[in-house]
Amino acid sequence: MIVESAPAKLNLALHVRRRRDDGYHELETLFAFVRDGDTVTLADAATDSFTIHGPFADILSAEGDNLVTRARDAFRAAFGGEQRHAITLDKRLPVASGIGGGSADAAATLRALARRHGVAIDDPALVAVADALGSDVPACLAGRTLIGRGRGEVLTPIAGLSLPVLLVNPGVAVSTASVFARWDSADRGPLPTGDAMAVALAGRNDLEPPARALAPAIDTVLAVLSVQPGVVMARMSGSGATCFALFDSVADRAAAGRVVAARPGWWHLETALTV
């Protein structure tokens, strides 16, 4: 049995530069990952199976299709083999929330399969499989702090940060396509230069305004997070609606966690950035 974590992905900064001719958007982003998230478990079996449990299992179970099974099938198509697998997903991250839940699950599945079948994580064929599954999947496959360009798949490592983090979702799912459709097409400039902290502090998330228009509850989350003692920065991740706050200390993060826990319907996770 192989167990792989699928940690939440954060966009500490996300600059949208232009809409490309292929329909995608040219991005510049600072990817970071936290300690906690979903978990993928893989075991050899006579036939393929896929099981989901956890707090957000019901939402995914109703979809039928899933990035985990697509990752399994794409891995087999790329690397061959007759071995079948039983895969279990412990779904603890909210769905359609801007923290890469599906992409992280797909990447964890690829890592588990790669471990089982002796494929290096940086094998170009595996990275190509990840890229074909989604723009965030290559970054989630690497699972470390990175600068992403292109659709997000052109990756450059950067030294990461070790800070306590509080993730908060107001209990709403936001469609990525709808958020991008409302982006005003204004190029507000490139990602700043410097270390990860400098890029994060001087950066922005260009998808925040359209996401906030679609889900005004994001305004409330950011307003609450930004005034908590010890907060370094508060921002929305990805296309939302999950927001995050970086803190100076675990004690400050815990205090903020108690504040948001009192909000009915809000999901939150006290965690930390990993380098």
Q: Identify whether 9 is a catalytic site residue.
A: yes
Q: Identify whether 136 is a catalytic site residue.
A: yes
DSSP the chain: -EEEEEEEEEEEEEEEEEE-TTS-EEEEEEEEEEEEEEEEEEEEESS-EEEEESTTHHHHHTTS--HHHHHHHHHHHHH----EEEEEEE--SPSSSSS-HHHHHHHHHHHHHHHHHT--TT-HHHHHHHHHH-TTHHHHHHTS-EEEEETTTEEEE------EEEEEE-S----HHHHHHH-------PPPPSSHHHHHHH--BTTHHHHHHH-THHHHHHHHHHTSTTEEEEEE-TTSS-EEEEES-HHHHHHHHHHHHTSTT-EEEEEEEE-
Catalytic residue among 38, 90, 136, 252: 136
Catalytic residue among 9, 36, 38, 206: 9
Task: List residues with catalytic annotation.
Answer: 9, 136
